[in-house]
Amino acid sequence: MFGIGKLFRKASKTTESGGFANNRPVWNMGRKFKSYADEGFEKNVVVYRGIDKTAKAVASIPIYAKSVRGKRDDKSDLAKLIQKPNLMQTGSDLMEQIAGFYMLAGNSYLEKTMLSDSRVGELYCLRPDRMSIKPGSTGIPKTYQFAVANEEPVFFPVDEIRGYSDILHMKQFNPTNDWYGLSPLSAGAFAVDQHNETMQAMQSMLANGMVPSGALKTNEELSDPAYKRLKEQMQEKSGSRNSGKTLLLENGVTWEQMGVSPDNMMMIETKYSSARDIALALGVPPLLLNIPGDATYSNYKEARLAHYEETVIPLAEYIIDSMNRWLAPYFGGQTLALDLDRIPAIYEKRLTLWDMANKSNDLTINERRKIKGYPPVEGGDTVFVGSGQVPISFADDGLPGEGEVTEE
């Protein structure tokens, strides 16, 4: 069946080159994903909060199903599927997981299960580090493979003509890899390392009771027992719980406290600087993460609106567009859509825009309705002016022109 289809398919000459036609599995970098998850999401508060904030914002946008004609249909099979994609998750849970993996790994994978009557039964989001791709000869994956530890892998074949598969792969742009997306944490790796190292250094200072470095001085040579007692005493008195406790020195030993080094004074600023770079890589305004020193936005409201317009909505639209391309053939052309009017940050901006449209004197009724997202109405293509709201054509007819004088 598929062999006949090849005769009628236009194939790209570039996809037949060595990069695609090697027919060997291209393994995802599981260790790199583990590093992103461990050193980034699990141990770095800025990474965690940035990804969590975006993923939850994406999941909070209402999704509805619409017919081929664009009419909302909340009772269709597609609407029911997105409301409850599987027995363990709601639609919001699934969207948060998709967006979270996409932000963390640069890749998200959805699996659909099919019922006996060829209908889509459930949707599942799969961990990116458990997925690998076997390239096809035309730039389309030949097989997706899911593997957990030492268990037998599960293979998902791909229709090499139409690209149909039970797996939907969503990925970020990656200039150096044909098959896997680039994680935002790859671009922000140095900032994440700097932030983690700074936090470890501050933790070390805290463990030492936040005492600046110093030196024990003596003019006499300490005996081995005296040196041992002094060393044990220093170890017992160290740590934040022992902060403020007194050292008992003997044999002429004195403590000379050193000043705070410039390196320690710069530690806080380094922490905030790396935190701002992490937020930049994740597309989250630093103000939303309570990071000091960001003057890009004058208030929280502006930062929140920018987060939705520049990061959250584009990501949500990409996910929905990808799912529509994947699922529409199984639902008679029905598609999913985002209800952007329900987003508080965007709704406030739209209210301002609507108010400007209502107060405008040079827009027709239909132009105002278009701005508000409403269909045109009959007779709404006329501009009205003046307090009486008469058509502008009336204002030009039968009225005195400039410089003319009327008789009483």
* Predicted confidence (pLDDT) per residue in 74-106, tens digit: 999 999 999 999 999 999 999 999 999 999 999
Q: How high is the mean pLDDT of the chain?
A: 79
Residue 60 pLDDT: 94
Q: Where residue 203 falls among pLDDT bands split at 50, 70, 90?
A: confident
- Report d(CA 351, CA 355) in Å as an integer: 6
Pairing of strands 390-391, 167-171: unpaired
Residue 114 contacts by C-beta under 8 Å, 6 or more apart in sequence? Answer: 120, 121, 166
Sheet holding 120-126, edge to edge: 120-126, 107-114, 167-171
Over residues 267-305, the pLDDT tens digits come to 778 888 899 999 999 999 999 998 887 777 778 888 899
Q: Is the pLDDT of residue 237 over 60?
A: no
Residue 65 pLDDT: 95
Q: Is the pLDDT of residue 49 over 50?
A: yes
- Report d(CA 29, CA 105) in Å as an integer: 10
Residue 233 pLDDT: 67
Tell me the average pLDDT across 119-123: 93
- Report d(CA 271, CA 95) in Å as an integer: 32
Residue 350 pLDDT: 73
Q: Is the pLDDT of residue 241 over 60?
A: no
Distances (CA, A) of 403 to 85, 399, 400, 406: 73, 12, 8, 10
Highest mean predicted confidence (pLDDT) among 15-24, 120-129, 358-367: 120-129
How many beta carbons lie within 10 A of that of residue 305, not counting itself?
18
Residue 6 pLDDT: 41
Residue 8 pLDDT: 40
Tell me the average pLDDT across 325-350: 86
> How many alpha carbons lie under 13 Å from residue 95 in its C-beta half-sphere?
30
